[in-house]
Amino acid sequence: MSSSAMPRSLGERCFWFGGLLLWLNVGSSGDASLTPQPNCTDFQNANLLRGTNLKVQFLLFTPSDPSCGKLVEESSDIQNAGFNATLGTKIIIHGFRALGTKPSWIDNFIRTLLRVADANVIAVDWVYGSTGVYFSAVDNVIKLGLEISRFLRKLLVLGVSQSSIHIIGVSLGAHVGGMVGHFYKGQLGQITGLDPAGPEYTRASLEERLDAGDALFVEAIHTDTDNLGIRIPVGHVDYFVNGGQDQPGCPTFIHAGYNYLICDHMRAVHLYISALEKSCPLMAFPCGSYKAFLAGHCLDCFNPFLLSCPRIGLMEQGGIKIEPHPKEVSVYLLTTARAPYCVHHSLVEFYLQETRNKDTNIKVTFLSSNVTSSVKITIPKQQLQGKGIIAHPNPQCQINQVKLKFQASNWVWRKDRMTTIVGRFCTAPLPVHDSKKTVCLPEPVNLQASMTVFRDLKIPCI
């Protein structure tokens, strides 16, 4: 992954990315920016051709002045800038910057963190060292890790405990965080990796990349494992969102340019910001694979979390309540295409009264408040039960109807299209700990091939 650029016009730049020449208007990030005030410091902008020198800035943001980044270098700077050693400290580390510009998401991230957490927030600006050629940025990871480690020593002298430090690293910044954690022998409180970078790291040693030994609790959110993100587990808990790739709402055609390349990768950042706002839960479930999860084979968090399902956000240790933490547990969840992204997962099942000599495919659709969600479940031939997982933006008690359609194959004979099956439909919200949550339609359902049947769902709110 390399980039080079030349000016086209004021506010526009181009760069090579994977053999593509992409022009971008960089005059506006699209996000509302924190306007620097007097005595406040903003992120640097690097020259694309000379951006590989490591010029690190540590910018402190506090609850009392969330819009002002104070440049802190020495211990006296930290104290004078309003740092509170009795609070937790969140350290944000961005990743590779193809254009040498400030990350467009950073201001919103800082604002949200300070709004929901009573903490010091320190943004690490290493735009200079992360710009230009990707492999040069990779070469700077160890150097940056050392600089951040030296900075943390100043915080520890002020009375900050190692366990109160939470590093949030984006892409390449996740591995920087892992490097810092390695230097502190895994005693930092927490590291959150937001789609940790894949190129140059998938086959790297544990000492070179983020891993579960780098902090007391390490989590990673994977959203682009087939391109820019790492595809292997790297923490105690690894969230593979929508399977870890091809996020809903992201462009599917290369004509979208830079957004086609970066949308899946950056979804981890936007998911995390949304989770911080706690508008609804982003709960995930451990499973052997994404396919097994979608097929309804993993319905709770008993193994290995003893029913404490992990959640994305600022819950202590992801909401996991067991010690010691198991390592490299892959957990899965579905999302919507837009913020707040969260859904309510439900198991859906259909039980045939009689077995058939061919697979039976049934499309299940939940309807509520003009919102629909669908999933296809398959009952294998000579079996009676089919099941799957459906994701809906609203909780089950707000679902008004379920729509069932017996899907016949296009090539079957006309007389087969008149086939009718009879069975029972049931559903239960995840996690499913026992059968008490399961709700079934009161009467068996007759489904004729290619015909749609509607049934009311009446599930009480708990």
Q: Output phi, psi for 87, to 5 deg.
A: -95, 165
Which is it for strands 165-170 and 385-392: parallel, antiparallel or unpaired?
A: unpaired
- Residues 199 and 95 sit within 8 Å (Cβ to Cβ): no
Residue 171 annotated in active site: yes
Residues 360 and 169: their CA atoms lie apart, in Å, by 46
| Cβ-based neighbour number of residue 88 at 10 Å | 19
**Which residues are CB-neighbours of 308 under 8 A, at least 6 positions away?**
301, 319, 320, 321, 322
Of 175, 236, 265, 270, which residue is the catalytic one?
Answer: 265
- How does strand 439-440 pair with strand 420-429? antiparallel
3 state DSSP class of 25: strand
Known catalytic membership, residue 265 = yes
Q: Please, what sign has the CA dihedral across residues 310, 313, 315, 316?
A: positive
How many angstroms separate the CA atoms of 317 and 248, rounded? 27
Q: Among 130, 171, 274, 373, which one carries the catalytic annotation?
A: 171
- DSSP, residue by residue, 62-88: ETTEEEEEEE--SHHHHHHTT--TTSE
User: Among this protein's residues, is 195 annotated catalytic?
Assistant: yes
User: CA geometry: angle at 59 spanning 55 and 60, to 5°?
Assistant: 155
> Among the options 125, 195, 211, 214, which is catalytic?
195
Give the catalytic positions in this structure: 171, 195, 265
